[in-house]
Amino acid sequence: MSIRQVATRAGVSPATVSRVFTQPDAVAEDTRRRVRAAADELGYVPNPVARSLARGRSGNLGIVVQDIANSFAAVIIKAVQQEARREDYALFVAGAEHGGEDEHRLARAMAAQVDGLILVSPSMSDDQVREIVAVTPVVLVNYELADVPAALIPADDGTDQAVEHLHALGHRTVAYLTGPPIYSNTTRLHAFRAACARLELTGLEIDVRDSRFSAGVRAADLVLATPATAVLAFNDELAVGLLNRLADRGVRVPEEISVVGFDDTGLAAMVRPRLTTVRLPAAEAGRAAARILVDRVPAGAHGTVEPLRLASELIVRNSTAPAPPTSPPT
């Protein structure tokens, strides 16, 4: 079915049909209605590529995450994809597994091919982020930068809940397993230190600089070399790796040591004992970021938007219990 056939049926020129689908505000309402009715009768579907070119846009959005295989990132990607599809955008996805420079290179390359970009917990510098902002509309997830719209899950809320829970159970020495050197890990670590100071707990930091299951396995022996009776891990994958290694060593969780994760991914309810964790609204953050980005594309990213702050929640399961009366095993 061609545009000329629609034009003949509606009694207008092919140029008018084209404007109806690319610049509808430039066409009178009764003409728009007549053209759309003719298109529906004939089963005409405008070429999405042609529509995008006419509008000066690609019809694509992009998202850059640290690790595509990470469960938390996967939830965000899926939510963004659903929103993008609803608004007739395709989504390009990139994973930057080699630090800030790799991430910066990928973001720059993608920015030239999309109408807008979502950066999830970027590890690049503020200046590098602003370089991307100068090229295309950008929305951040779990990263705050002045005048750049963002969907944020503040670290202090969930971290406070986790540390207060362990304090209420009688734990007085708590270890934090760090994640990679990214914004979300930095803010959680600061919140952990502040909560321990406020509650007069001994807060230990075990620097694994990773977020994967294997890093949690390696960290277990480091944890057992400390007097900690409880551990707060940067994410669920670290926490589950830790649980598995502790089980291999014959250390009972939570009787001898308590473990708390972060994110509340599908792993948390699958392991045994089921993992106490901080639930982060990843899907909600992804949907919100996509909606903000889609709204900014037609406006050319003009104007500032206050960051959207989402609440986290501690989900108490079976991996935490009252502190043991004696020191943990070494």
Least confident interval from 58-72, 114-128, 236-250: 58-72
pLDDT tens readout for residues 176-188? 999 988 888 999 9
Residue showing tokens 């049926």? 9
Q: Do 170 and 141 share a domain, yes or no?
A: no
Percent of the chain scoring above 90 in pLDDT: 60
Distance CA 110, CA 100 (A): 15
Radius of gyration of the CA atoms of the chain, in A: 25
Q: What is the pLDDT of residue 138?
A: 94
Q: Is residue 190 a part of any domain in this protein?
A: yes
Q: Is residue 53 a part of any domain in this protein?
A: no
Q: Is residue 79 a part of any domain in this protein?
A: yes
Q: Is residue 220 a part of any domain in this protein?
A: yes
Q: Is residue 210 a part of any domain in this protein?
A: yes
Average pLDDT for residues 264-279, to the nearest whole number?
94
Q: Is residue 266 a part of any domain in this protein?
A: yes
Q: Do 147 and 296 share a domain, yes or no?
A: yes
Q: Do 273 and 259 share a domain, yes or no?
A: yes
Q: Do 79 and 64 share a domain, yes or no?
A: yes
Q: Do 159 and 268 share a domain, yes or no?
A: yes
Q: What is the pLDDT of residue 53?
A: 46
Average pLDDT for residues 5-34, to the nearest whole number?
82
Q: Do 84 and 137 share a domain, yes or no?
A: yes
Average pLDDT for residues 90-104, to the nearest whole number?
85
Q: Do 100 and 161 share a domain, yes or no?
A: no
Q: What is the pLDDT of residue 108?
A: 92
Q: What is the 3-state secondary structure (H, E, C) of the chain?
A: CCHHHHHHHHCCCHHHHHHHHHCHHHCCHHHHHHHHHHHHHHCCCCCHHHHHHHCCCCCEEEEEECCCCCHHHHHHHHHHHHHHHHCCCEEEEEECCCCHHHHHHHHHHHHCCCCCEEEECCCCCHHHHHHHHCCCCEEEECCCCCCCCEEECCHHHHHHHHHHHHHHCCCCEEEEECCCCCHHHHHHHHHHHHHHHHHCCEEEEECCCCCCHHHHHHHHHHHHCCCCCEEEECCHHHHHHHHHHHHHCCCCCCCCCEEEEEECCHHHHHCCCCCEEEECCHHHHHHHHHHHHHHHHHHCCCCCCCCEECCCEEECCCCCCCCCCCCCCC
Q: Do 202 and 291 share a domain, yes or no?
A: no
Q: What is the pLDDT of residue 190?
A: 96
Q: Do 135 and 67 share a domain, yes or no?
A: yes
Q: Does pLDDT of 48 surpass 70?
A: no
Q: Do 149 and 292 share a domain, yes or no?
A: yes
Long-range CB contact pairs, 180-183, < 8 A, 24+: 180/66, 180/123, 180/209, 180/210, 180/211, 181/123, 181/209, 182/66, 182/121, 182/122, 182/123, 183/121, 183/122, 183/123, 183/142, 183/143, 183/144
Residue 292's domain comprises: 60-153+282-310
Q: Do 197 and 111 share a domain, yes or no?
A: no
Q: Is residue 326 a part of any domain in this protein?
A: no
Domains contained in the chain, number = 2
Task: Output the domain CATH number for residue 274.
Answer: 3.40.50.2300
Q: What is the mean pLDDT of the chain?
A: 88
Q: Is residue 45 a part of any domain in this protein?
A: no
More confident residue, 307 or 328: 307
Q: What is the pLDDT of residue 327?
A: 52
Average pLDDT for residues 15-29, to the nearest whole number?
77
Q: Do 116 and 228 share a domain, yes or no?
A: no
Q: Does pLDDT of 125 surpass 70?
A: yes
Q: Does pLDDT of 296 surpass 90?
A: no
